[in-house]
A = this chain, B = another copy of it.
Amino acid sequence: MKKIINTPDTLMMEMINGIVLAHPELELINKYKVIKKKKMNDEKVTLISGGGSGHEPAHAGFIGKGMLDAAVCGEVFASPSQIQVYQAIKETQSNKGTLLIIKNYSGDIMNFKNAAHLAKEDGAVVDYVKVEDDIAVEDSLYTVGRRGVAGTVLVHKIAGAAAEEGRSLSDVKTVAQKAADSVRSIGIALTSGTVPAKGTPTFTLEDDEMEYGVGIHGEPGIRREKMMSASQLAERMVKDLLKDLKVSDDNEEELVVLINGFGATPLQELYLFNNEVARELSERNVKICRTFVGNYMTSVDMAGVSVSLMKLDDELKSLINKESDTPAFKVSG
C-alpha cells in the first residue's frame, strides 16, 4: 500500500481536519467527528448525513447552502456510532426539526435510527429517509434492500433545496423520499481500492477484467466480467438503469445524470464516459435536465465509475436547479 498518509489510525481525524482547514465556512466538533456549517439557520430544517469515511468528498463536501448542514464521520467504511450522530443532532437543532439522510446499510441504519430515538427522548424533532439506489443488489422481502450509493448526493441536493425554501420537516422529508425513490445507480470497478487499515487491495482483477455492479465499500459486484469499451459499458448500464426506473423509449422523461468516479479514475475518463451515456440517452429520446461529472461518492482509491439517473417531475426539476454552494457540489441557481 502506497498512500499519502501517516498512519491508518490517525487518518480519519487528519483528513477531516484538512477539510475544515480548506473550507473555513465549516467547523469540526472534534470530540464527535461532526463537521457542520459555522453559520446555522434556525428557520430551516437541519439536514444531516454521514457514514463511514472513505467516500470523500461525501459527505462533508456537501455541507453548505442548498444541501447539508452537518456530516457525521465514521472511521473508513464504518458508520459513526449512535452517540456521534446523537450529538450531531443535538448540536445542530433548528426550530424546524432535523432530517437524517441515511445510506441503506445495517450499521448506518441502526446507528442513525438509534440516535434519532435518543434525541427524540430529549425532545428533539427528528425524522429520516434512507437511500437505496443501487440496482446491483437484489431487492426482496428476504434481504435488507438495496445499498445506498452515489444517488444519495442527488437526494442531498433535492432535500437541501427544499429545506432552503423554508419548508416544514414533513414536506422536506416527503420530497427527499420522492428523490430517493426516483434515483437509481449502477457501478463498475476496474481495480480494487485499498482500505488503509487493511493495507492490501480488497480484491484483485486481471488486466482485462472488471466487476459489474460494485458498491462503494469494495464489495465485489454482481459478476466478474471481461472489460468492455466505454460505449458498450454505457449501453449496458443505461439500459439496466432505465429498465429499473421504468423509463421506456417513448416516455419522454427528463432525467438528471450523475457520472461518479470512485476515486482513482481521472476526469478524462469520466467526461468521455459522459459522452457515451448522453448518446445512449438521446438515442432513447430521454431528455437530460442536468449532468454532474466528478468524484462525488468514492470508494477510497478504487478505479471505476457509477452512473446515477434521477427521474424528474416538475417539483424535483425545480429543486435540482436551485442554487447550491458547497465545497464539492455547486449549482449556480
List the interface of chain A (C-beta within 8 A of B). 1-6, 11, 14-19, 21-23, 53-54, 56-57, 61, 190-191, 207-208, 210, 227, 229-231, 233, 259, 263-276, 278, 288, 291-293, 295, 298, 300-301, 303, 305, 325, 330, 332
A255 → B minimal CB distance (Å): 13
Closest 4 CB pairs of A and B: A18-B275, A18-B271, A263-B266, A18-B274
| Chain A interface, >50% SS class | mixed
Determine how many copies of this chain the complex contains.
Answer: 2
| Contacting pair B4 A233 (CB below 8 A) | yes
Nearest chain B CB to A133 CB, angstrom units: 20
Q: Is the CB of B278 within 8 A of A21?
A: yes
18 residue pairs from A and B, CB less than 8 Å apart: A2-B303, A3-B269, A4-B190, A6-B272, A11-B272, A15-B271, A16-B271, A18-B273, A18-B275, A18-B293, A21-B274, A53-B268, A56-B271, A61-B267, A263-B267, A266-B295, A266-B301, A301-B303
Tell me if A6 and B291 are in contact (CB < 8 A). Answer: no
Q: How far is the CA of A294 from the CA of B61 in the complex (A)?
A: 11
CB-CB under 8 A from A21, the residues of chain B are 274-275, 278, 288, 291
Query: In whole angstroms, what is the CA distance A132 to B144 when docked?
Result: 55
Contact of A265 among B210, B274, B301, B325 (CB under 8 A): B301
Specify the chain B residue showing the minimal Cβ separation from A15: B272
Contacts of A298 in B (CB 8 A): 266-268
- Cβ of A19: which chain B residues have Cβ within 8 Å of it? 271
